[in-house]
């Protein structure tokens, strides 16, 4: 698992917690299914949402997070700054599992410092803002975390957040270390005799 240093906030302020905001919704009638499974009836979809929130809460607690609040189809939790990597990995696992069940989950992670308080402050506002604008299956992180985990994770795109930078993790290839190993395993492509003489000056240059 990639190691991410504890994030920092403004100069002289050490970030104490990472806020995870999850927005969960069943597939709507207008959305194409995210998997090949038959879509359940509306009543079963509502139950699936409740079950998904309960399972999400259990997974967060098991992963070292503290559930702060549940607001309808949304869940708010906090992790210690030292567990930022675990929070990211948990988020990626939850999104992969949700795809299989046809549930739409959007996640956002942001950082908060001690003086901001755990029951309010910019980190909660930031995570709510990012999650509310994220697409199902997306994991967004605020600019502070993005800068800290950039050496370990890859991003599909940069998103705007109140004039500040935020990032959306690459779901296909999220971990930089895996891509590095895959590239290292690539061998030199073979050349047929007809092109060998043409390629030699390039390789020797």
Q: What is the pLDDT of residues 191-204, one digit of tens each?
A: 566 666 666 666 66
Low-confidence ranges of the chain (pLDDT < 70): 1-15, 26-48, 112-121, 161-164, 187-205
How many residues does the structure list for the chain? 205
Tell me the two tokens of residue 118.
């755990």
Please state, as a whole number, how many other Cβ atoms lie within 10 Å of the Cβ of residue 203.
Answer: 9
Name the residue with tokens 């302020």.
Answer: 13
Cβ(36)–Cβ(99) under 8 Å?
A: no
Which helix (H) or strand (E) segment is 104 a member of?
Answer: strand 104-113
| Per-residue three-class SS string for 10-46 | CCCCEEEEEEEEEEEECCCCCCCCCCCCCCCCHHHHH
pLDDT of residue 1: 46
Total-model pTM: 0.70
30: exposed, middle or buried (C-beta count within 10 Å: 0-12, 13-18, 19+)?
exposed
Name the residue with tokens 């891509």.
Answer: 179
**pLDDT tens track for 38-74:** 555 554 444 567 888 888 899 999 988 999 999 888 9
């Amino acid at each position: 698992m990639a190691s991410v240093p504890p994030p920092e906030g403004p100069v002289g302020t050490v970030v104490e917690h990472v806020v995870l905001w999850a927005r969960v919704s069943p597939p709507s009638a207008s959305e194409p299914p995210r998997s090949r499974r038959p879509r359940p009836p509306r009543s079963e979809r509502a139950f699936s949402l409740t079950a998904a929130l309960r399972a999400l809460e259990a997974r967060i607690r098991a992963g070292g997070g503290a559930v702060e609040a549940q607001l309808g189809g949304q869940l708010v939790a906090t992790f210690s700054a030292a567990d930022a990597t675990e929070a990211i990995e948990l988020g990626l696992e939850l999104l992969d599992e949700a795809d299989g069940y046809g549930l739409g989950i959007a996640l956002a992670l942001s950082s908060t410092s001690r003086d901001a308080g755990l029951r309010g402050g910019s980190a909660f506002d930031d995570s709510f803002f990012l999650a509310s604008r994220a697409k199902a299956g997306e994991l967004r992180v605020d600019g502070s975390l993005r800068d800290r985990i950039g050496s370990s994770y890859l991003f599909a795109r940069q998103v705007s957040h109140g004039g500040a930078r935020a990032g959306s993790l690459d779901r296909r290839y999220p971990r930089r270390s895996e891509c590095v190993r895959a590239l290292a395993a690539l061998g030199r492509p073979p050349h047929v005799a007809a092109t060998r003489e043409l390629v030699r000056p390039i390789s020797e240059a």
